[in-house]
Structure 1
Amino acid sequence: MAASIQIMHNLIDESGARTWADRVHQGELWEMARARSSNSFNGANPLGWAKVLNEAGMGPYAVVSVADYGEALRTAASAIADTGRPVGLVMWRGRHVWVMSGFKSLGDPGQFPEFSVTGIRVQDPLYPYGDDKWGPSPAPNTLLTPKQLATQFVVREPRRWSSNLPTGYMLVLPRAKA
């Protein structure tokens, strides 16, 4: 999660003057996210992730759960189109996180509410390692099809951590600034 926070910062920071890549800083971000998470396993969860993004000046971000896969992709793509900021994807039923940095679609999200997402640009902080169960990590900035993404972006298991969010595809979603 901390590496994903660093990736998101580096995508959002337009000046390019403050690249976040330091391992010590990554550990600090992990501790920040963990301290802001309510997790019976003493780890960090998406609520802590969003809180760190907000406190670090990258927000506002909110955690949402979307029941339908296609709607989750449209929600994420619309948020990127509206804000210009990346979306956090909660992967592997809540065990890992990626960053969605862009998309391709049939139709403009701002003009056509039922547009189709045809490609999802992702950043996986585990690259090149991946996972024995879930498969290989895509290379940075890979454009996946919805079918390819669906092998690892699956419904979050409710038992992974307590929240009042319904079961669904979990996103750490940028919101328009007030």
Structure 2
Amino acid sequence: METRAQHLEKVQNTANYLRLTKDENFLAMSEDYIRNRIPEGYLRISAVLNDVSNFLEQYYKTIRDYDLSFGSIALATASSELAVLIMPGDTSSDFKDFLLRVENDTEPTINDDLIRIPDEMIVACDDNEMLLNCLIQETYLNLQQNAYNSNYIVDRAILATKNE
């Protein structure tokens, strides 16, 4: 019968093997998906966040347990052109310029902490109860006709940080 130390060593060796196998084969396993849908830098960001999350989990913590500036994270992501790459249509250069002006503090502010969002970036909705539906309808104009078209859905993905 194996001792507890031997059992823990086997578990650790298995975990190390799986981690090495995953690291060696990660790009090969996901190559098609990467090529077709995801900018390369985004996978690195996801991998880092996954590693941080796994590390914190050992101490029964999550990223939400720490006071992080989600606005700065969103701007860093956007300025790394990830957000610009997911913007549909011809507005991506305007959106990129807007984000860079915000990051460089050259966008006009109100009381030094409020930024006016350009009209073309605002989704108008008269009914507060239906705000989410208005956003979905504006983003997915022909959702009923394209509900089973994965490219239609993925190309219009809404990425945002979750700040609870």
TM-score in terms of structure 2 length: 0.28
Which is richer in helix?
A: 2
Higher RCO (CA 8 Å, separation ≥ 6 residues)? 1
Whose Rg is larger? 2
Which is richer in strand?
A: 1
TM-score in terms of structure 1 length: 0.27
